[in-house]
Amino acid sequence: MISYTGLRLHGPGEAFALPGHRVILGTDRPLRLDSGAELRAFPLAYQAYGRLNAGRTNAVLVCHALTGDHFVAEPHPLTGKPGWWSDMVGAGRTIDTDRYFVICVNVLGGCMGSAGPSEVNPETGEIWGLSFPVVTIADMVRAQAMLLDHLGIERLFAVIGGSMGGMQVLEWASLYPKRLFAAVPIATAAHHSAQNIAFHEVGRQAVMADPDWQQGEYWRHGRKPVAGLAVARMAAHITYLSETKLHEKFGRKLQDRENIKYGFDADFQVESYLRHQGQSFVERFDANSYLFITRAMDYFDIAARHGGVLANAFRETTVRFCVLSFTSDWLYPTIESRRIVHALNAVAANVSYAEIVSNSGHDAFLLDEPDFRRVLAGFLNGAAQHCGLAPTSSAA
Partner 1 sequence: MEQSSAIRVDLQLIADMIDPGARVLDVGCGDGALLDYLVQFKQVDGRGIELSSDGVNACVSAGLSVIQGDADTDLFDYPDQAFDYVVLSQTLQAMRAPKMMLQQLLRIGNRAIVSMPNFAHWRLRWQLLTRGRMPSSGVLPHAWYDSPNIHLCSIRDFVVVCKDLGARIERGLFLDQTGTPRRLGSGLVLANLLGEQAVFLLCRDESAHRPSRVIG
SS3 call for 93: coil
Rounded Cα distance between 204 and 358, Å, is 30
Degrees (nearest 5) of the Cα angle 273, 193, 146?
90
The distance of closest approach from Cβ of residue 303 to partner 1 in the complex, given in angstroms and rounded to an integer, is 15
Binding segment toward partner 1, per CB under 8 A, in 202-210, 239-247, 320-328, 359-367: 320-328
Rounded Cα distance between 374 and 238, Å, is 27
The length of the chain in residues reads 396
The distance of closest approach from Cβ of residue 371 to partner 1 in the complex, given in angstroms and rounded to an integer, is 6
Q: Does 347 bind partner 1 (CB under 8 A)?
A: yes
Degrees (nearest 5) of the Cα angle 104, 44, 383?
30
Binding residue for partner 1 (CB under 8 A) from 10, 224, 320, 362?
A: 320
Rounded Cα distance between 298 and 309, Å, is 19
Q: Does 385 bind partner 1 (CB under 8 A)?
A: yes
How crowded is residue 238: how many other Cβ atoms within 10 Å of its Cβ? 15
Rounded Cα distance between 387 and 260, Å, is 60
Interaxial angle between packed helices 269-284 and 226-240, expressed in degrees from 0 to 180 and rounded to the nearest 10: 120
Q: Does 359 bind partner 1 (CB under 8 A)?
A: no
To the query of whether residue 21 is one of the catalytic residues in this protein, the response is no
Of 100 and 273, nearer to partner 1 (C-beta) is 100
The distance of closest approach from Cβ of residue 376 to partner 1 in the complex, given in angstroms and rounded to an integer, is 9
Binding residue for partner 1 (CB under 8 A) from 193, 378, 387, 392?
A: 378
Q: Does 318 bind partner 1 (CB under 8 A)?
A: no
Binding segment toward partner 1, per CB under 8 A, in 66-74, 156-164, 237-245, 316-324: 316-324
The distance of closest approach from Cβ of residue 271 to partner 1 in the complex, given in angstroms and rounded to an integer, is 35
The distance of closest approach from Cβ of residue 388 to partner 1 in the complex, given in angstroms and rounded to an integer, is 14
- Dihedral angle of Cα 357, 359, 361, 364, to the nearest 10 degrees: -60
Q: Does 379 bind partner 1 (CB under 8 A)?
A: yes
- Minimal CA–CA distance to 185: which of 157, 163, 212, 206? 163
To the query of whether residue 276 is one of the catalytic residues in this protein, the response is no
Rounded Cα distance between 27 and 12, Å, is 22
Exactly one of 289, 329, 352, 363 is catalytic; name it. Answer: 329
SS3 call for 58: coil
Binding residue for partner 1 (CB under 8 A) from 88, 156, 266, 341?
A: 341
Degrees (nearest 5) of the Cα angle 112, 93, 70?
5
Contacts of 71 (CB under 8 A, 6+ apart): 19, 20, 47, 77, 83, 84, 104, 112
Binding segment toward partner 1, per CB under 8 A, in 56-64, 139-147, 227-235, 370-378: 370-378
Exactly one of 163, 242, 337, 358 is catalytic; name it. Answer: 163
Distances (CA, A) of 379 to 1, 105, 197, 207, 353: 47, 23, 32, 40, 10
Binding residue for partner 1 (CB under 8 A) from 103, 230, 383, 389?
A: 383
To the query of whether residue 118 is one of the catalytic residues in this protein, the response is no
Q: Does 309 bind partner 1 (CB under 8 A)?
A: no
Contact 157, 100 (CB under 8 A): yes
Binding residue for partner 1 (CB under 8 A) from 53, 86, 350, 359?
A: 350
Q: Does 99 bind partner 1 (CB under 8 A)?
A: no
The distance of closest approach from Cβ of residue 380 to partner 1 in the complex, given in angstroms and rounded to an integer, is 9
The distance of closest approach from Cβ of residue 353 to partner 1 in the complex, given in angstroms and rounded to an integer, is 4
Q: Which residues here bind partner 1, judged by CB under 8 A? A: 320, 322-323, 338, 341-343, 345-348, 350-357, 371, 374-375, 377-379, 381-383, 385
Q: Which residues are catalytic?
A: 163, 329, 362
